[in-house]
Structure 1
Amino acid sequence: MPDTIRSLSTTGLTPKSQIQRWSDALTDLCGRFDVDPLEGTSFDGRINYTLMSRLKLCQIEASQHRIAHTLARSRSTEHPYIKILFQTYGTSYFEQDGRHIEIGPGDCLAYDVSMPHTIVSPALTRHEVVIVPKELLQERGFRLDKMVACKLSARSGTGRIAHDVAHAAFDEATKLSPHSAVGVAESLIDLLLLPLREADAMFDRGGPEAIYIRAQAFIREHLRDPDLTIDQISAALGCTKRYLHMVFSDRGMTVSDYIWRARLQHCRQELETQSGKTITDVAFSWGFSSSSHFSRVFRKYFGVVPSAVHRAAAR
């Protein structure tokens, strides 16, 4: 028998039940996550998903929210999946291991679900997702030990082909026999691997992706330094400031944007876990020099003021 399309919605539930329903749904799909509706009075989410052989194909729509797979959760649960996410509406902000990636319509994001990460969506978003067991990629010789989260284009080339086939596979999943479903799933995995292998090869050649990775590592090591500058970073990497600007610009941000976003992520983590520190102490320890500026950019990025996060942690 063909597999069915399963649907889930938070419509009609109380705000607390909406968050629990969404958390339970994510747990069933790929693991345990913390869910935060930001400043929304309610959370509206819908998931349609189906199985195709060992792949999970999903279409997801959600109002403003933040999900986080924390270090604590990564130690207590298993997330043996790679997620391939095709953004179709809205903008989301992904963070993992110091990497900050903005995702918009036409972008594809591939990442290891088992590693701690957060995704912030300040407004309504829609995306189509293929959840792939790691073993299926390992069987094809893909080196997961080297994999870092990467943004690819689904507007053209292999990325577009992979998205088109993933979309069609979801639409036709219920009409396939079990034997055909296995064949389509195998072909889809191979297609999904094409843009991933291209990105992997580009990294191995030491091009812009390698510079980007090295820049992130240097920034992480010096993130608390309020005097961290682009001059320092480019000098440490042995490249020009112009080239460094280009590398970050190609990923939709400036070097300064990346630094401030990384600092904000660390500040939020400390506010959530170290209630004994004041907001000013946390902000200044991560390179901010003005409490008012910190509060303003924190709210702009997360959709909530730092005092609200601090109060919630103290309860």
Structure 2
Amino acid sequence: MELRSDYADDFRASQRVLGLGAVTMWTATFQPLVFRRTPKLIRQSDPEAYHLSLVLRGAGGGVWKHRETEYKPHGLLINSTSLTNDVHSTEDLGTTLALEIPKAVLPLPRSAVGRIVGAPVSTQEGIGALLARLLTQLSADTTAYQPADGPRLGTVFTDLVAALFAHVLDADDSLPSETHRRTLTLRIQAFIREHLHDPHLAPATIAAAHHISTSYLHRLFRDEEITVAAWIRRLRLEAARRDLADPALRAARIHTIATRWGFPRATDFSRAYRAAYGTTPQEHRQQAFHGHG
């Protein structure tokens, strides 16, 4: 970004960054500042992420090709690293809580991105309020959390942001049918993440919970180039992989972890794990704890 400030000769700012797996969160306090993202800068480097800023103190505005918006305390500003923009703060010391989430975990069709970025979002009710409360609580005190909690919290934030995006898009009646399909897919993916522990999680139960046919559910996932069952298996393997390397679960038996994530048969778990990661669960656990007493 290009940064400009009338206080450049004696600029004051502070920032605290928390790594939450693939997600990054930070708190920032700064004097009036202009953040500019130009076509040249985007060509030079694009991390391809969505950026959400909860304004705690200060005011300002944002300008994109498709929209201009103002923000004030308790407002939530949604941005994209892939879009040219000009965001500015106007008060002496602004304070924001920010999230940066890779687009890969929140895929949206191109037609929907413009409707999300800069869209007004309430943090006084609904999903926006939940997201704002979690951001505020986490930034206020991180002492109760262990390093291994970071990726788990990143997953929680990803699910909340996916639900928020789906809510914003649902509220727009002018959206094309393809975007509504994408929104439904986001909702279904969030539902699957929430119910990964459920041994009865299957295409039929997922379809029933969303009042669609199983065949339509399979068509939605055909667009994702992966089957529903394969997507569930991948998420469960990723969750088991995290638990196997979690120091807090070091004493837990591998079979207990596998069963928790929907693999009651040890041979099935070991075969699927090796196919996905090229190593056995036992080998991965030994590597994770190598050198840790």
Question: Which TM-score band applies after superposition, normalised by the shorter structure?
Answer: 0.5 to 0.7
**Equivalent residue for 2:124?**
155
Map of 1:123 onto structure 2? 91
Q: Any unmatched runs of 5+ in structure 2?
A: 176-293
What secondary structure sits across from 1:105 in the alignment?
coil
Q: Is the Cα–Cα contact under 8 Å of residues 38 and 66 in structure 1 kept in the other structure? A: no
Secondary structure at the aligned position of 1:181 is classed as helix
Determine whether 1:87 maps to 2:55. Answer: yes
Match of 2:30 among 54, 57, 62: 62
Please give the per-residue CA displacement for 1:96-130, whole angstroms capped at 9, x wherever unaligned: 11411101011111121221111111223111001
- 1:162 Cα deviation after fit: 0.7
8 A Cα contact 1:40 1:64, kept in partner = no
8 Å CA contact retained: 1:94, 1:118:
yes
Tell me how far 1:41 sits from its aligned partner. Answer: 4.8
**Contact 1:81 / 1:131 at 8 angstroms: preserved in 2?**
yes
SS at match of 1:152: coil
Distance of aligned partners of 1:53 and 1:175 in 2 relative to their CA distance in 1, 3 Å threshold? farther
> Pairwise mapping of residues 1-315 of structure 1 onto structure 2 (< 5 A)?
33-38=1-6, 41-124=9-92, 125-138=94-107, 142-143=108-109, 145-148=111-114, 149=117, 150-173=119-142, 175-203=144-172, 205-206=173-174
Separation in 2, partners of 1:56, 1:181? 10
Q: Distance in 1 between matches of 2:152 and 2:47?
A: 25
Task: Note if contact 2:61-2:88 (Cα within 8 Å) is conserved in structure 1.
Answer: yes
Q: Secondary structure at the match of 2:95?
A: strand
Identity of aligned residues (%): 12
Q: Is the 8 A contact 2:7 2:31 kept in 1?
A: no
How far is the alpha carbon of 1:178 from its aligned partner? 4.3
Contact 1:85 1:129 in 2 (8 A): yes
Q: Secondary structure at the match of 1:151?
A: coil
In the alignment, the residues of structure 2 paired with residue 197 and residue 54 of structure 1 have an alpha-carbon distance, to the nearest angstrom, of 21
Give per-residue Cα distances to partners, 1:203-244, cap 9 Å, x unaligned: 2x129xxxxxxxxxxxxxxxxxxxxxxxxxxxxxxxxxxxxx
Runs of 4+ deviating beyond 6 Å: none
Q: Is the 8 A contact 2:23 2:154 kept in 1?
A: yes
* Distance in structure 2 (CA, Å) of the matches to 1:38 and 1:119: 15
Residue 101 of structure 2 aligns with an amino acid whose one-letter code is V
Distance 1:174 1:145, change over 3 A: farther
With structure 2 as the length reference, what TM-score do the two structures score? 0.54
Do 2:75 and 2:123's aligned partners in 1 also have CA atoms closer than 8 Å?
Answer: yes
| SS in structure 1 at match of 2:61 | strand
CA separation of 1:178 and 1:61: change in aligned 2, threshold 3 A? closer
Cα-Cα RMSD: 2.1
Q: Which has the larger radius of gyration?
A: 2
Q: Is contact 1:43–1:64 with CA below 8 Å preserved after alignment?
A: no
- Partner secondary structure for residue 120 of structure 2: strand
CA distance in 2, matches of 1:180, 1:172: 14
Deviation at 1:144, TM superposition (A): 5.4
TM-score using structure 1 length: 0.50
Contact 1:81–1:112 (Cα < 8 Å) also in 2: yes
Quote the Cα distance in structure 2 between the aligned partners of 1:145 and 1:63: 35
Question: Are the aligned partners of 2:46 and 2:81 in contact in 1 as well (CA < 8 Å)?
Answer: no
Letter in 1 for 2:40: A
1:172, 1:162 → 2: CA distance?
16
